[in-house]
Chains A and B, each alone.
Chain A
């Protein structure tokens, strides 16, 4: 655990907290982008160049910027005035705890923790590709199906909206 790791971790956590608690949605979205960038920095610091730059490309460069974009296009300029905690916060907390518990349980019961950390080797891209296409083919395909379903869902939502659009009212 180096100093660099602590700085990165601290900044990532702080920006994550900022993303959840700030009132102005634009600030939240930008803080989220910073969190993603912090994660990318953490991957790079661990020597995982491929994952680090993919994280940068996909999350900071695409996902976060689309969120910023959507917020800019749809929201009014004024920040929301109601409190940041919704009245249903216990439900949210329960869901969060559940997810955390599941993940933590799986991690603790898996073999990952019992492995000795392998010497840091730069996994070549070719090797990552081969592993994805052979050993991890089922998760890859499942993810593919999931993303396709999401894509089709988005298209159907957009189509629905266009159909329900009434023709523009005539001026007379």
Chain B
């Protein structure tokens, strides 16, 4: 087998596995969301389909596919069809560069080990706005339009804070490659970047909520004011794509957070922070990564049911007048410290 065809086959296998796991997590994140919200609000949550309602996601998927795909007469058809897909694509593309394990055999457990790593992520994430803007524009009616405008303003604002929050991380690490970021965090738990750049972590975390449209920043969807926001005119599987896009974005953002600040697939005990020599350790490291990611994702879901929603002007104020100056100061201070300490 030539190296190229070997590369192609292994990449295809990795892509299929990562896609399958991601979609599984997306489906069950919805189930967890409903169960957690039910527990917090003293209800039962889904409990009819399968034991503990575990088959509910499958039932929902079947329902979404079988429902009539209704297209309102007043929408702009091309954009109306494109928008749900454009919402879904960026979240799936971001996952491609996240190292979800060290190696199995000689295969690195990352789909694409890019040198410019995080730049790719932000480039792709910034495309997510198009889906929402297009959905708002395609709907050709007032509420979705307002929802689309609001949400795109929110995404553009918080992208800046998010991008600037991670610059200190890369100043410390000395490169943009995510594998490099992970190897920097090995050795001791205090090498994790959450302890080295706590301010970056906080800004990234908050911006992550805003970027994925989750409460307390889910203004584009605020039911009480906009009857749902940019997705009002959608039904059946197209609506489900918006829904899945949100959870895929949460999954991708959690994976990113784990990679950047929580040590990725490493644990500073029993040599688990070195690339795996055996198959078993390799699989264990993938499980460690998944466990960390699911803890973060659970926290995201938990917060949704504990916090009230921000008002729009508060959201903009927080983004532009608190986080962006803070992130800038963080960059300058980190650079100064590095310059004084290292030289």
- A interface vs B, CB < 8 Å? 26, 33, 40, 49-50, 53-54, 56-57, 60-62, 65-66, 68-69, 72-73, 77, 122, 124-126
Contact = CB atoms under 8 A, between A and B. Distances in A.
A57 B156 contact: no
B40 interface: no
Interface string B132-159: 0100110010000100110011001001
B112 to A, nearest CB: 11
Prevailing SS type, chain A contact patch: helix
A2 to B, nearest CB: 16
Contact of B156 (A54, A66, A77, A125): A66
A68 B86 CA distance: 16
B137 A56 contact: no
A89 B167 CA distance: 46
B243 interface: no
- Counting chain B CB atoms within 10 Å of each CB, the highest count among A40, A57, A122 belongs to A57
Given A125-B176, A126-B174, A62 B156 contact: yes
A5 B149 CA distance: 35
A53 B175 contact: no
B149 A72 contact: yes
Contacts of B127: 56, 60-61
A50 B116 contact: yes
A49 B115 contact: yes
B119 A50 contact: yes
Interface in B157-207: 159, 163, 174-176
Across the A-B interface, give the 3 residue pairs with the lowest CB-CB distance, nearest first.
A61-B126, A56-B123, A57-B123
B126 A53 contact: no
Interface in B93-136: 114-116, 119-120, 122-127, 129-130, 133, 136
Given A61-B129, A69-B152, 8 more contacts: A49-B115, A49-B116, A49-B119, A53-B119, A65-B130, A69-B149, A77-B140, A125-B115
A60 B122 CA distance: 11
Nearest to A37: B127
Given A53-B119, A57-B122, A65 B152 contact: yes
Contacts of A33: 130
A57 B152 CA distance: 15
B66 to A, nearest CB: 33
B126 A57 contact: yes
A23 to B, nearest CB: 14
A50 B140 CA distance: 38
